[in-house]
Amino acid sequence: METDSSSYPSSSSAAAARWNYDVFLSFRGEDTRYNFVGHLYEALRQKGIHTFKDDKNLDRGKPISPELLKAIEESRFAIVIMSKDYASSAWCLDELAHIIHCKKEMAMTILPVFHYVDPSDIRNQMGTFEQAFIEHEKKENKERVGKWRDSLREVGNLAGCHLKNTRYETEDIKEIIGWISLHLKYDEFPYITRDLVGIYSRMVELESFLAIGLNNVRFIGVWAMGGMGKTTLARVVYHVVSKEFEAYSFIEDVRENSEKHGFVGLQEKLISNILEETDLKIRDKYDGVLKIKKRLCHKRILLVLDDVNKLDQLKMLAGEHDWFGPGSRIIITTRDVHVLNAHGVDGIYEVQGLYDKDAFQLFCSKAFRKEHVPKDYLVMSKEFLKYAAGLPLALEVLGSFLFGKSTIEWKCALERSKEYPNTEVLNVLKISFDGLHDLEKEIFLHIACFFNHKEKDYVVDVLDSLGLYAVIGLKELINKCLLKIDDDYILSMHDLLEEMGKSIVRQECPNDCGKRSRLWCYEDIENVLKNNKGREVVQAMHILRNNDEDEDEDEDEDEDEDEDEMGKSIVRQECPNDCGKRSRLWCYEYIENVLKNNKGREVVQAMHILRNNEVKDEDEDEDEVKDEDEVKETCWSLEAISQMYNLKFLSIDAR
């Protein structure tokens, strides 16, 4: 089929709102109604392309009806079948003249089909077209005939589909359907994605994974953490490309529905959607598998399985490639990449967080209902954007919550969200946590509370010492999009996942920090130790002393070093000859001496250990100290800590 750029749709939103039909068919019934047009209409209908075809036996001697004119105006495309006797019908020529008017005034796109006629005969009104106009000029006024001639000339100059006796008409029909589907796809895109910021680039990337032009069966996974927009992306792509398949089905909430109701209902829905059957009955899930394999293996289908979290769900709904006909595409959305790998999918598309520009646009659209930020809100908007870290769900929920609120309320909401994450966001993220093994939950909470942005080997050592089998556990967290490891082997967890982990620990006992399993806040730990709490409950603590968020980060480093050395000198003078009688210890040998000889239980308040740093002398030049960036561990308030029977891990950064 010949096409040109001028036939590509360029519509306005006003026109889109007016269109009730995808296609208007213009044809001469005596020539094509019961052959080519009948087959074309059925093919359009099967593709879900809403088509107007005039099936009434109308009196062709009368003027074209208002209903027909209205149908033309409400159609996005017109397929004009130019058969040999098309021009002999005044009715058809009136239709055509109005179609040309709609092309010029209403953004209609015309696809001419030259039904065994030469386009040049139409342009020049030669052959049967010439004979038709000889007859018209005998009966009609010149103005009307002139309009018909101009309309034919314009259609004859358009690129279209030229039917010849060189191939089957079914191939021509398939080509026409493909052209309409392609143009409808790009025409509809702005309207189905109107409020979906950043979706276009994602859609293009996922479409490239689908490789729809190939005739093989492809299983494609869409993988990301909760709230990243997997389902939304799958819906958009499903809507855009579905017309290119014989049949299609979107099975949502596979995880939840299979857990609550089993597989039979999902299998019945899948087959019913594809085959358009309403009375289908399946005895059990194994009968469902047999029916899917037997009845869909010759169908070119598009299937979306949304929110899959277990391999058996795929085995029951889309077990093998040969269950489906050539050219089929199966899209699987999941939070667990292991499920995709185990099922042997053909490609995995990982949905990333929004780019800064898109995140800003989405947040502004919800928080201000416009594209720019009022000056008074700019700083706090940046804080919320940093907090959401590109997660579409968080940007949308937080932005909507903040709409119409004052700057004072914004500040309060920002502080609250850091300690108490939004419930709607939290519930979505927590689905992945709830699906973890108990050991993996422990690892997740340890990383969220203590080890985010820490070096992998160090974290593995600590977790293994707690009997948590870290290597396997970390791999599972990565598979489920709860953790990443960068090129420098640093663990990285999304800030909202970290907040979720800490929130889970807080909920263990909201009003008493001494009854929580993990402590990371200096004030909470100080409270627990001073009041002799947490003996049976607290398992791990991390103290970051002087961690005031308002501390000036640009403070001169030399001043810090001078003050640090001055502080050490003061402590040394407390008891120059016995380190066990000093309030604080920082040299490894001194701490080892105190611990081995059971000294300092009533005096020492803090111990600061540099791991693997080869410190040999407390007065050694700091420039000669190796591995100065090593993680620091400290035991603080020894007597109180020694009574915490359930404590398994202690990390103190006594800066």
Active-site amino acid positions: 95
Alpha carbon distance 614, 628 (integer Å): 10
Alpha carbon distance 583, 567 (integer Å): 11
Q: Give me Rg for the CA atoms of the chain.
A: 36
CB 640 within 8 A of CB 529: yes
Alpha carbon distance 593, 595 (integer Å): 6
Alpha carbon distance 74, 17 (integer Å): 9
Alpha carbon distance 483, 247 (integer Å): 38
In DSSP notation, 210-264 reads: H-TTS-S-EEEEEE--TTSSHHHHHHHHHHHHGGGSSEEEEE--HHHHHHHH-SH
Element holding 342 (H helix, E strand)? helix 337-343
Pairing status of strand 75-82 against strand 109-115? parallel
| Residue 388 CB coordination number (10 Å) | 28
Structure tokens at 136: 């018209």
Residue type, 649: F
First-to-last C-alpha distance (Å) of the chain: 73
State the DSSP code for 335: S
Element holding 550 (H helix, E strand)? none
CB 177 within 8 A of CB 49: yes
Q: Which residues contact 540 (CB under 8 A, 6 or more apart)?
A: 446, 449, 450, 517, 518, 519, 647, 648, 649, 650, 651
Q: Which residues contact 536 (CB under 8 A, 6 or more apart)?
A: 645, 646
Scanning the structure block, which residue is given the tokens 């066990």? 580
State the DSSP code for 318: S
Rounded alpha-carbon distances, angstroms, from residue 568 to 195, 291, 319: 60, 78, 68
| Best CA proximity match to 54, nearest among 70, 38, 42, 68 | 68
Pairing status of strand 632-633 against strand 609-610? antiparallel
CB 532 within 8 A of CB 640: yes
Alpha carbon distance 118, 160 (integer Å): 12
> Rounded to 5 degrees, what angle do the CA atoms 143, 144, 145 make?
95
3-state secondary structure of 540: strand
> Rounded to 5 degrees, what angle do the CA atoms 322, 327, 329 make?
80
> Rounded to 5 degrees, what angle do the CA atoms 321, 325, 329 make?
65
Structure tokens at 81: 């079948």
CB 599 within 8 A of CB 593: yes
Distance, C-alpha 130 to centroid of its chain: 58
What is the chain's length? 655
